[in-house]
A and B are shown apart, each in its own frame.
Chain A
Amino acid sequence: MAEVVYDHASRIYTPGAKPAVNQLSLDIEDGEFVVFVGPSGCGKSTALRMLAGLEEIDAGAIRIGGKNMVGVPSRDRDIAMVFQNYALYPNKTVGENMDFPLKMRGMSKEERDKKVRAAGEVLGLTEFLDRKPRALSGGQRQRVAMGRAIVREPQVFLMDEPLSNLDAKMRVGTRAEIAALQTRLGVTTIYVTHDQVEAMTMGNRVAVLKLGELQQFATPAELYDSPKNAFVAGFIGSPAMNLYTVPMADEGARVGGQVIKLTAAQRAAISAAGITTVTIGIRPEQWSANSTNGSEQGIAAEITVVEELGSDAFIYGNLATDPSESIVVRTSGRSGARIGDKISLHTISDELHLFHPETGERL
């Protein structure tokens, strides 16, 4: 167990081009579960592979337990990794797969057997120890890959989208299992995913990356409540936050022909930035929607899609004043909204998010 430090770590594939990972700096505490999340090509996997020793660290440093890992081969880093496609050894049985990292470290046969059996029990694989990976289901293979990682009690676990090959239901179950296992073992874990739900539910802290740059490194709640920029705001949360770049009025921001009132502090921040337009972010649950009867004062919109999820529903639509601007609203599960209905919207929260229209930084 150890803390992991990314210290301005960069990966540059072609000199002169934009680095795949640019000056990444993170302090990951001992025993912490950290998730790297971001869209495809954001460098999250590259950042993980740099820690694993599968990619060079071209600039900066990565330290595990205070030891600089630049130039240290993977096998000397005392880490274990779960791969997206599991990378089980097809010719070895489940037991031999889990045994392999122990054997490579010259542990005695007795001790190895004990550890493999123990890991098999933890993961419910006892009856499969003599089977070959190809005779297992996807979920079982995933657990073997987990077993191969935990059996060695490494300093750091690395997981590269380990759930992406499972079906939706299995993914939810395994997600909880991995989080519970990590809490129990207390091993520092770095987990890469493109799925922001996994990031929000599993991580103690989440690092959001985009185009090789760290956007924000914070707890899930902090990411949701005070995203540092418009990208994080739009990426975290499902459905995504409504973001509009709109002109300012006296009292607030002008959206869909109406003025959304802003607090004095928010207005002060906007005038301090010296801007006349602002990017305003409103979460789907920060709207209240009423069906229109002609006398409504809210922002007018027309419904294009209704997603009934049972417990609640998401209403998608377009603003009446500008049909190219879409909205998404969370309502109760029995809202009775229909496609084509006209609705009027009010914001029901003061915690609206404001971003600089050009830099995207939070105001």
Chain B
Amino acid sequence: MSTSTTTPAGPSAAATDSEPRPRKSSTGHVILAIVSWVVGIVFFFPVLWMVLTAFKQEADAYTSPPKLFFAPTLDQFKEVLSAGAAPALLNSLFATVVSTILVLLLAIPAAFAVSLRPVAKTRDVLFFFISTKMLPVVAAIVPIYVVVNEIHAVDNIWTLVVLYTAMNLPIAVWMMRSFFLEVPGALLEAASIDGASIGRTMREVVLPVVSPGIAATALICVIFAWNEFFIAVNLTAAQAGTVPVFLVGFITSEGLYFAKLCAAATLAALPVVIAGWVAQNKLVQGLSFGAVK
């Protein structure tokens, strides 16, 4: 997934890099180009194989070497969807979207406070945030399970929403803080002299400036929440199962039906790829402070 989001930036970055340099021998360039293509294909190949296999009949999926030319079919996708993928996709979507919105609602004011209005213990607070990520989830899962079980919230999608929000909040605060630190202090001072309250300064001045940062933070939260497996597999069952849980259940029940498995995996990967593609413009645009330099 990460390969597909970074690929668009790759060639353009390489192009701007090579321009100012003095010209190397053309054979050197050719070799470098070949190496980078090979590396790129090696990384991309498993994804390509997965997507291609998803469109094959089960019989074609087993041939070795894999067939490149075949009659594509949507049969596998149909079977996967009829096997219960839809509720899992909806669960994942709900947990991901709601937790990401909650994370942003909480992390943006928090990061604003710790970056623009630092107090004596701000560093300690920041360390506390990140320290919560140091405990392995495996170590925390038993107490979490006990608590969730006590409040009768096992196999409830809201449980995942709360846990994913907690899981992503420290990272989001840290990311947003680094974006807020890039906002020139003079902008805030100008807004306050121009008569804006803190709230309006935030809405009208700061948030538009850090919007690429918000997009990046949201994307990271979406990816982490969508891909989360461990908490989901332990705290959900039939009702609130998410896509990763569904995928695993699929492997055991269907044995070695590669084409179906690939179709399910492709479906699981698709939303994150789309999210990355949507956020791409904002991400590439970066923070532009043309007005103050």
Contact = CB atoms under 8 A, between A and B. Distances in A.
A90 B192 contact: no
Nearest to A145: B190
Interface of A: 52-54, 73-75, 77, 79-81, 83-92, 100-101, 104-105, 132-135, 141, 148, 152
B286 to A, nearest CB: 12
A88 B291 contact: yes
* A88, A92, A133: most-surrounded residue (chain B CB, <10 A): A88
Contact of B289 (A80, A81, A90): A90
Question: Max chain A CB contacts within 10 Å: which of B186, B196, B211?
Answer: B186
A100 B291 contact: no
Contacts of B204: 89, 100
Contacts of B291: 86-90, 132-134, 141
Contacts of B289: 90
A90 B292 contact: yes
B196 A104 contact: yes
A54 B208 contact: no
B11 interface: no
Contact of B290 (A75, A90, A152): A90
Interface string B183-215: 010110111111111001000110011010000
Contacts of A87: 184, 186-187, 189-190, 291-292
Contacts of B290: 90, 132-135
25 contacts: A54-B192, A75-B192, A75-B193, A75-B196, A77-B193, A79-B193, A81-B189, A81-B190, A83-B189, A84-B186, A88-B291, A89-B187, A89-B208, A89-B291, A90-B208, A91-B208, A91-B209, A101-B194, A104-B200, A132-B291, A133-B291, A134-B290, A135-B290, A148-B194, A152-B194
Contacts of B292: 85-88, 90
A92 to B, nearest CB: 8
* B interface bracket (residues with beta carbon within 8 Å of A): 20 to 34
B23 to A, nearest CB: 32
- Residue of B187, B193, B208, B291 with highest tally of chain A CB at under 10 A: B193
| Central interface residue in A75, A84, A134, A135, by most chain B CB within 10 Å | A75
A74 B193 contact: yes
Contacts of A132: 290-291
B204 to A, nearest CB: 7
Contacts of A134: 288, 290-291
Interface of A is mostly: loop
B21 interface: no
Interface of B: 184, 186-187, 189-197, 200, 204-205, 208-209, 211, 288-293
B195 A105 contact: yes
The listed residue with most B CB atoms (<10 A of its CB), out of A87, A91, A132, A152, is A87
Contacts of B190: 81, 83, 87, 89, 148
A88 B291 CA distance: 5
Contact of A75 (B184, B187, B194, B293): B194
B293 A80 contact: no
Contact of B186 (A53, A80, A83, A141): A83
A119 to B, nearest CB: 14
Given A90-B209, A104-B195, 20 more contacts: A54-B193, A73-B192, A74-B192, A75-B192, A75-B194, A80-B194, A81-B193, A83-B186, A86-B292, A89-B187, A89-B291, A90-B288, A90-B289, A91-B208, A91-B211, A100-B196, A105-B195, A132-B291, A134-B291, A148-B194
Nearest to A133: B291
Nearest to A88: B291
Contacts of B189: 52, 54, 74, 81, 83, 87
Contacts of B293: 85
In the A-B complex, the 4 residue pairs with the smallest Cβ-Cβ separation, listed nearest first, are A134-B290, A133-B291, A104-B195, A91-B208
A90 B289 CA distance: 6
Contacts of A73: 192
Pick the most buried of B189, B205, B289, B291: most chain A CB atoms within 10 A of its CB: B291
A77 B195 CA distance: 9
Contacts of B209: 89-91
